[in-house]
Amino acid sequence: QLQLVEAGGGVVQPGGSLRLSCAASGFAFNYYAIGWFRQAPGKEREGTLCIANDGGSINYADSVKGRFTISRDNAKNTVYLEMRSLKPEDTAIYYCAAFWGRQCPPPKAKYNYWGQGTQVTVSS
């Protein structure tokens, strides 16, 4: 009943771009901040960006600054992650997650709901 569904992943060459989406249903979307996380094989999960209900955002990772942007469409219960200038080290499964609160939490906070992820592969 409570769902977050990611879409938009795929295979892209270095320097390319992708736009991911996270569609939410089954809960009061506007009460939650939404974060994007990623996990590569053999590595710990890493936060990238978070966006609050009012559109305020924070960056969890220096490695994506200037390349990734996050946006939110509350009317559609959807959050987007635009990725550009992609690098091989960006390869990972990307997850969106919802945190109950007006503000984005620290990146290691316990988010309430998680999607199943979408694979992003950056390779030549």
* Mean confidence (pLDDT) of the chain: 95
Checking if the pLDDT of 1 tops 80, the result is no
Checking if the pLDDT of 86 tops 90, the result is yes
Burial of residue 28 (CB within 10 Å: 0-12, 13-18, 19+) is: exposed
Least confident of 13-17, 28-32, 102-106: 28-32
What are the tokens at 20?
């991911």
Query: What values do phi and psi take at 62, rounded to 5?
Result: -60, -30
User: What is the rounded average pLDDT of the residues 100-122?
Assistant: 95
* Model pLDDT for residues 39-72, shown as the tens digit of each residue: 999 999 999 999 999 999 999 999 999 999 999 9
Distance CA 37, CA 113 (A): 12
User: What is the rounded average pLDDT of the residues 23-52?
Assistant: 94
- Tell me, what's the pLDDT at 27? 80
